[in-house]
């Protein structure tokens, strides 16, 4: 686990190597058909989640299958295809991944549904918060020691119950091509539950080259970044399960 940041960092390449997105006209054209399709997928997913995700994506259930397939379809609305490298461990396991985009959770769900740890603000977002709770998300209030203790207890309980957990030990998104310091305390939950920890490297590629231009820029809002991704050319989200 202590070598995970170095392993993840080695996969990124130099910033600025990515291709430049197409011009505004093509971007507007992409948004014109992607936005209605995305809304249709979101509404359809919410309706199915009422019945299939009442208690989170338990391994091997129809709910887990729904989450995996819906995530793939949702990402396709943005022109993003998901590619897996390596093999994920069997349930229960804690996945620890680098964090660069709001798409990271959906990208991982498209390959391997798990209960994510996310900032508490997401739980208050309209519709998104409801979907996150249905997907088994565990919400953490940043900067609160009490919240972290409660979150770790829930994580351990779910691991003992045979469910997998996923977390971003950096505590937030990092600038393109970089990693923040991994906060190791969150790994205590896996130790308490005697569950394995598997590092995961996420990166976004365009024509096989890292595409840092789709990640957050300094001071950029969530909605602005969503609009940029909707307008950009096709991408590949690579999910590499490390040993």
* pLDDT over threshold 70, residue 237: yes
**What's residue 22's pLDDT?**
44
Whether 207 and 73 have beta carbons less than 8 Å apart is answered as: no
More confident residue, 14 or 223: 223
Listed residue (105, 142, 139) closest to 122, CA to CA: 139
| Distance, CA of 126 to CA of 143 (rounded, Å) | 23
* pLDDT over threshold 70, residue 11: no
Residue where the block lists tokens 């602005």: 224
Distance from CA of residue 147 to its chain's centroid? Answer: 21
What is the tens place of the pLDDT at every residue in 131-160? 777 778 888 877 677 777 888 899 999 999
What is the tens place of the pLDDT at every residue in 83-137? 999 999 999 999 999 988 889 989 999 998 888 888 777 777 777 777 777 778 8
- Which residues share a beta bridge with 95? 166, 198
* pLDDT over threshold 70, residue 33: yes
* pLDDT over threshold 60, residue 231: yes
Secondary structure element (H or E) that encloses residue 171, with its range: none
Listed residue (68, 19, 76, 20) closest to 48, CA to CA: 68
Residues 6+ apart with CB under 8 A from 159: 92, 94, 165, 189, 190, 193, 195
Structure tokens that stand for 203 in this block: 């990166």
Please give the average per-residue pLDDT across 49-63, as a whole number.
Answer: 70
Rounded to two decimals, the pTM is: 0.80
| Distance, CA of 207 to CA of 16 (rounded, Å) | 14
Three-state secondary-structure class, residue 237: strand
DSSP 20: P
**What's residue 4's pLDDT?**
52
């Amino acid at each position: 686990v202590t070598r995970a940041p170095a392993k993840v960092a080695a996969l990124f390449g130099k910033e600025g190597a990515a291709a430049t997105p197409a011009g505004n006209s093509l971007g507007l054209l992409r948004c014109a058909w992607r936005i209605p399709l995305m809304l249709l997928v979101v509404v359809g997913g919410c309706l199915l989640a009422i019945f299939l995700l009442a208690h989170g994506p338990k391994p091997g259930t129809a709910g887990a299958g729904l989450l995996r397939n819906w995530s793939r379809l949702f990402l396709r609305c943005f022109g993003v295809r998901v590619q897996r490298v390596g093999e994920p461990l069997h349930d229960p396991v804690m996945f620890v991944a680098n964090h660069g985009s709001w798409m990271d959770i959906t990208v991982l769900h498209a390959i391997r549904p798990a209960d994510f740890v996310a900032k508490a603000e997401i739980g208050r977002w309209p519709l998104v918060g409801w979907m996150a709770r249905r997907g088994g998300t565990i919400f953490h209030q940043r900067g609160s020691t009490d919240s972290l203790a409660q979150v770790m207890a829930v994580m351990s309980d779910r691991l003992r119950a045979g469910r997998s957990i996923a977390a971003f030990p950096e505590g937030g998104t990092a600038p393109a091509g970089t990693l923040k310091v991994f906060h190791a305390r969150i790994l205590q939950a896996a130790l308490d539950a005697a569950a394995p920890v598997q590092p995961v490297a996420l990166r976004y590629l365009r024509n096989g080259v890292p595409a840092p231009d789709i990640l957050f820029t300094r001071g950029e809002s969530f909605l602005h970044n969503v609009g940029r991704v909707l307008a950009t050319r096709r991408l590949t989200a690579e999910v590499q399960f490390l040993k």
